[in-house]
């Protein structure tokens, strides 16, 4: 979506257009959650934080001025809220090593990574329902094939077959570069 279109949507949002709000939410929510999670290392907290950013966006919409781009505004707001969380939960002299490392990474790289993660999530969401469920249980909840089979009441062979289908479909839908990032993303979540 072009930035001019985003500016138009934002102006509609400022005028109380709920549909415009939904469009921005749908476009940025997932990527912002992944972006926040890079700082917080807690997906539930990240989701809550991003939801609060959108709530504040809606309730304060008439007072908010976006000087650069809507995208930059949202990412900067989420980054600042993550820093606020650290200030509230950590002693001021104690800074998380992960935040220290993130401060060494250019902000633009973090945005690009969040966008790539959003594209990966979109590809995962395109998987058939059962295939997606098995893939998510394995890769994001860290369950073994036998645990997935038991949980879903299916055979281990079915789990293996569905994982094979999922990985093939993801390989087909993502470029080589994105596939490498998908694998890095998946294995970084497991560790």
On whether both 46 and 94 belong to a single domain, the answer is: yes
pLDDT of residue 135: 86
On whether both 86 and 178 belong to a single domain, the answer is: no
CA distance 131 to 134: 5
Q: Is residue 22 part of a domain?
A: yes
The distance from CA 189 to its chain's CA centroid, rounded to whole angstroms, is 12
Say how many domains are in the chain.
2
Split at pLDDT 50, 70, 90, the class of 97 is low
Split at pLDDT 50, 70, 90, the class of 103 is low
Across the range 150-172, mean pLDDT stands at 87
Q: Is the pLDDT of residue 91 over 90?
A: no
Reported pTM = 0.50
Across the range 2-27, mean pLDDT stands at 81
Residue 68 is classified by DSSP as S
Split at pLDDT 50, 70, 90, the class of 65 is confident
Token couple for 80:
């600042």
Q: Quickly list DSSP for 124-175.
A: HHTS-HHHHHHHHHHHTS---HHHHHHHHT--HHHHHHHHHHHHHHHHHHS-
The number of beta carbons lying within 10 Å of the beta carbon of residue 181 is 17
56-to-20, 59, 135 alpha-carbon distances in Å: 15, 5, 34
First to last CA, the chain: 34
Split at pLDDT 50, 70, 90, the class of 61 is confident
Q: Is the pLDDT of residue 158 over 80?
A: yes
φ, ψ of residue 91 in degrees (nearest 5): -65, 150
Q: Is the pLDDT of residue 75 over 80?
A: yes
Token couple for 184:
């890095």
Q: Is the pLDDT of residue 108 over 50?
A: yes
75-to-56, 131, 146, 186, 190 alpha-carbon distances in Å: 14, 32, 39, 23, 25
The parent domain of residue 165 ranges over 126-191
Q: Is residue 115 part of a domain?
A: no
The number of beta carbons lying within 10 Å of the beta carbon of residue 100 is 9
Q: Is the pLDDT of residue 136 over 90?
A: no
pLDDT of residue 150: 92
On whether both 5 and 75 belong to a single domain, the answer is: yes
What CATH number has the domain bearing residue 184?
A: 1.10.10
On whether both 53 and 9 belong to a single domain, the answer is: yes
On whether both 42 and 135 belong to a single domain, the answer is: no
Q: Is residue 116 part of a domain?
A: no
157-to-76, 138, 142 alpha-carbon distances in Å: 46, 14, 18
What CATH number has the domain bearing residue 100?
A: 1.10.1740.10
Split at pLDDT 50, 70, 90, the class of 190 is very low
Look at 87-101, 103-117, 172-186 and tell me which has the smallest mean pLDDT: 87-101
On whether both 132 and 98 belong to a single domain, the answer is: no
Long-range contacts of 7-11 (CB under 8 A, 24+ apart): 7/66, 7/69, 7/70, 9/70, 10/66, 10/70
């Amino acid at each position: 979506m072009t930035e001019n279109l985003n500016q138009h949507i934002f102006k509609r949002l400022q005028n109380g257009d709920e549909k415009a709000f939904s469009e921005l939410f749908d476009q940025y929510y997932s990527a912002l959650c992944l972006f926040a999670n890079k700082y917080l290392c807690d997906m539930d907290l990240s989701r809550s934080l991003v939801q609060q950013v959108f709530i504040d966006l809606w309730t304060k919409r008439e007072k908010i001025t976006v000087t650069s781009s809507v995208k930059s505004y949202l990412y900067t707001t989420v980054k600042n809220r993550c820093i606020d969380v650290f200030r509230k939960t950590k002693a001021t002299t104690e800074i998380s090593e992960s935040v220290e490392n993130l401060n060494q990474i250019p902000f633009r790289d973090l945005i690009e990574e969040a966008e790539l993660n959003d594209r990966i999530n979109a590809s995962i969401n395109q998987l058939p329902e059962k295939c997606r469920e098995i893939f998510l249980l394995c890769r994001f909840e860290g369950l073994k094939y036998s645990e997935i089979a038991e949980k879903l009441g299916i055979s281990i062979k079915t789990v293996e077959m569905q994982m094979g289908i999922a990985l093939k479909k993801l390989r087909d839908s993502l470029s080589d570069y994105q596939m490498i990032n998908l694998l890095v993303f998946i294995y970084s979540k497991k560790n």
